[in-house]
Amino acid sequence: MIKLSKEKLNKFKNLNGLTNKQVAELTGLQVGTVDRVFSGANGNPTLETLKALSELFKCSVDDFIDYGDNQIVEPYLLDKDSAEIATTITSNSKIKTLYEIAKKLSPDDLNFVIDFAKRLTNK
């Protein structure tokens, strides 16, 4: 059964330095609703509530779900673009290798590689 993780929800709230009252004000949700969701008293909030929270925290509703003991532990990326980049790098071995090599390059060498890659993609 899929359930919300109050720990994950509170981690997002704490990372953003927000109180329940501030979350309510920023999302337009009732303070009582926010209190119940973040305390775990409401384990089945509406999709509208979850969407408002995910928009505030710039994440996916899926980031609030507790998948149990088999859950893959991943860092919380609050920016969707960063999450997409991280997923791309970790799921593609060639891009991961390129990233690992690029980390070790000097700024001049990195600029050379970038210019070279741009020329290749313009063909």
Judge whether residue 30 has pLDDT over 80. Answer: yes
What is the spatial distance between Cα 123 and Cα 112, in angstroms, rounded to a whole number?
17
* pLDDT tens profile 50-93: 999 999 998 888 888 887 765 545 555 656 777 788 888 878 88
* pLDDT tens profile 99-111: 999 999 999 999 9
For the chain, give the mean pLDDT: 86
Q: Which fold, 3-70?
A: 434 Repressor (Amino-terminal Domain) (1.10.260)
Closest CA relative to residue 53, chosen from 64, 40, 69, 67: 64
What is the spatial distance between Cα 58 and Cα 42, in angstroms, rounded to a whole number?
22
> Where are the domains positioned within the chain?
3-70, 80-121
What is the spatial distance between Cα 5 and Cα 63, in angstroms, rounded to a whole number?
9
CA angle 74, 71, 12 (to 5 degrees): 50
What is the spatial distance between Cα 112 and Cα 6, in angstroms, rounded to a whole number?
47
Q: Do 73 and 55 form a contact (C-beta atoms < 8 A)?
A: no
